[in-house]
Amino acid sequence: MKKRIGFIGCGQMGQAMIQGMIDAGVVEPGHIAATALSDETIDFVADEYGIHISNDNKKLAAESDLLFLAVKPYVYRDVIEEIREEVSDDTVVITVAAGITLESMEEAFDKNVKVIRSMPNTPSLVGAGMSALCPNAFVTQEDLAEVLELYESFGEAEVIEEKLMDAVPAVSGSSPAFVYMLIEAMADAAVQQGFPRDKAYKMVAQTVEGAAKMVKETGRHPAELKDAVCTPGGTTISGVTKLEEAGFRKAIIQGMTATTEKSKALSQGRK
């Protein structure tokens, strides 16, 4: 891709996307530029990814065709204030933040601006991301196709209606953290039984990946796949029974609901 790609903010999420798109070969490092606040991050990112990086948001905004805002939601207002004049009618601004709505972006820019609201996740770093996107009315089909090509280079991507965007952190944006908690807890239990840590993480992570692949590739219902593991009177059903007693599903659903509620609160300008 020949478009000039800019990242304002280059922390966990920005770096995961940059690494993912470079590894996929969809864009040359020379076509990516970024900004960061600290000299430490600027030096690290320049060395690690070979992209151009500075602390000049205005210049970056003026020189980018596809401009990612990969800063925390509470920094958005100040950053937009700073770059508003540099963003042209043709620039596609892509949000990477929970609770930043298309409407709030249009209000903040106070002019016709192309905006795509997106929610990626950190597994983009290893080409296994899951992202959701939704464009505003000024984004053309061609713009959207280009941005989708980038997101699909580091994982899967879905274009969805904006009313579903607040549920995306729970489904895919924040949920890697929940899966890491599951992996950590399973590994702790294995270590309690005498497993070395490294073997425990490897075996549990491979099992999580394998189970996810079974859901994706067989198309079978997760409950059917679970039933196929449960030998009558065997080990699995004993574990399943105990997990149900402990409120496993309830805890997951409550965690996801809290995540979505927080995203809705941010979208509505509540804390």
Ligand X SMILES: NC(=O)C1=CN([C@@H]2O[C@H](COP(=O)(O)OP(=O)(O)OC[C@H]3O[C@@H](n4cnc5c(N)ncnc54)[C@H](O)[C@@H]3O)[C@@H](O)[C@H]2O)C=CC1
List C-alpha distances in Å: 9 to 34, 70, 76, 215: 7, 5, 11, 35
Give 14 or 173: the residue with its C-beta nearer to ligand A1CAB.
173
169 binds ligand A1CAB (CB under 6 A): yes
Asked whether 155 and 124 are in contact (CB, 8 A), the reply is yes
Q: How far is the CB of 123 from ligand X (least distance, A)?
A: 9
The span from the CA of 53 to the CA of 70, in Å, is: 14
Give 72 or 199: the residue with its C-beta nearer to ligand X.
72
The span from the CA of 118 to the CA of 13, in Å, is: 12
> φ, ψ for residue 183 (rounded to 5)?
-60, -40
Q: How far is the CB of 98 from ligand A1CAB (least distance, A)?
A: 4
Binding-site size for ligand A1CAB (CB under 6 A) equals 4
Per CB under 6 A, residues contacting ligand X are 8-14, 35-37, 41, 57, 70-73, 75, 79, 96-98, 119-122, 173
Sign of CA dihedral 37, 39, 41, 43: positive
Pairing of β 32-35 and β 155-159: unpaired
The span from the CA of 6 to the CA of 47, in Å, is: 17
The span from the CA of 150 to the CA of 157, in Å, is: 9
Out of ligand A1CAB, ligand X, none, which partner does residue 155 contact, by CB within 5 to 8 A per kind?
A: none
Q: How far is the CB of 93 from ligand A1CAB (least distance, A)?
A: 18
Binding-site member from 64, 104, 174, 267 for ligand A1CAB (CB under 6 A): 174
The span from the CA of 236 to the CA of 250, in Å, is: 19
HSE-CB for 69 with a 13 A CA cutoff:
30
The span from the CA of 75 to the CA of 19, in Å, is: 23
Out of ligand X, ligand A1CAB, none, which partner does residue 259 contact, by CB within 5 to 8 A per kind?
A: none
Q: How far is the CB of 263 from ligand X (least distance, A)?
A: 9
Give 72 or 242: the residue with its C-beta nearer to ligand A1CAB.
72
Q: How far is the CB of 271 from ligand X (least distance, A)?
A: 15
Q: How far is the CB of 177 from ligand A1CAB (least distance, A)?
A: 7
Out of ligand A1CAB, ligand X, none, which partner does residue 8 contact, by CB within 5 to 8 A per kind?
A: ligand X
98 binds ligand A1CAB (CB under 6 A): yes
101 binds ligand A1CAB (CB under 6 A): no
Instruction: Summarize as ranges the residues that interact with ligand A1CAB (CB under 6 A).
Output: 98, 169, 173-174
